[in-house]
Amino acid sequence: MENIEHIWTNYQAKLHSFIQSRVGDPTTADDILQDVFLTIYSKIGTLKDSRKIQSWIYQITRNKIIDYYRSHKKMDELPESLSTQDTNPEDEALEEISRCVLPMIHNLPPHYRETIMLSEIEGYKQKDVALKQGLSLPGVKKRIQRGRAMIKDMLLECCRFEFDRRGSVIDYENINSQCNDC
């Protein structure tokens, strides 16, 4: 078995470079490297084949890098430009439109309304909707498709939509005074 000083001498620079190439920050790389060597020191007795020490060390290093990203994923703060205080016009438009959709669903013919409510609002899988309604899966899919098309037509009768280049709604305008849902 190799001793820890020998491992440090042979691998420290390579590991630091390996870590830094994945995390981008030398200080963070130093911290991860320290964790790697603490693990090597505490687990060196578990290495069964000393010929595989390099792959063992690099596996520990990869695991520590993964641990670093997992632990920082939830803690990273959003940049100010993404702060929740700033409202996204796209989100506002979608939220307002979603309030219009439920009354429109209630205006659907009963068999479409029930199918859409189960699949889209209550979150049932289409297969479960088919069982619950005693229909075939293709029959449920067709009802959902037709129900969605009816809702789309109702929305287009009420509103004019503005889309971004990806096709997402960024704004809308009510164009029908008879439409009370939006």
On whether residue 150 sits in a domain, the answer given is yes
Are the CB atoms for 7 and 57 separated by under 8 Å? yes
Is it the case that residue 126 has pLDDT exceeding 90?
A: yes
- The answer on 36 and 94 residing in a single domain is no
The pTM (predicted TM-score) of the whole model is 0.48
pLDDT recorded at residue 121: 84
- The answer on 114 and 44 residing in a single domain is no
Render pLDDT for 156-169 as a digit per residue (tens, 0 to 9). 888 887 777 777 77
Render pLDDT for 43-102 as a digit per residue (tens, 0 to 9). 888 888 888 888 899 899 999 998 888 887 655 554 454 444 444 455 565 666 677 788
Residue numbers of the domain that contains 96: 89-174
- The answer on 64 and 100 residing in a single domain is no
On whether residue 84 sits in a domain, the answer given is no
Is it the case that residue 137 has pLDDT exceeding 90?
A: yes
Task: Count how many domains the chain has.
Answer: 2
Bridge partner list, 162: 171
Instruction: Look at residues 42, 73, 104 and tell me which one is the last residue of a structural domain.
Output: 73
Q: The domain spanning residue 99 has which CATH number?
A: 1.10.10.10
Q: The domain spanning residue 42 has which CATH number?
A: 1.10.1740
pLDDT recorded at residue 24: 87
Are the CB atoms for 7 and 53 separated by under 8 Å? yes
- The answer on 64 and 120 residing in a single domain is no
136-165 per-residue burial string, b: 16 or more CB within 10 A, e: under 16: eeeebbebbebbeebbeebbeebbeeeeee
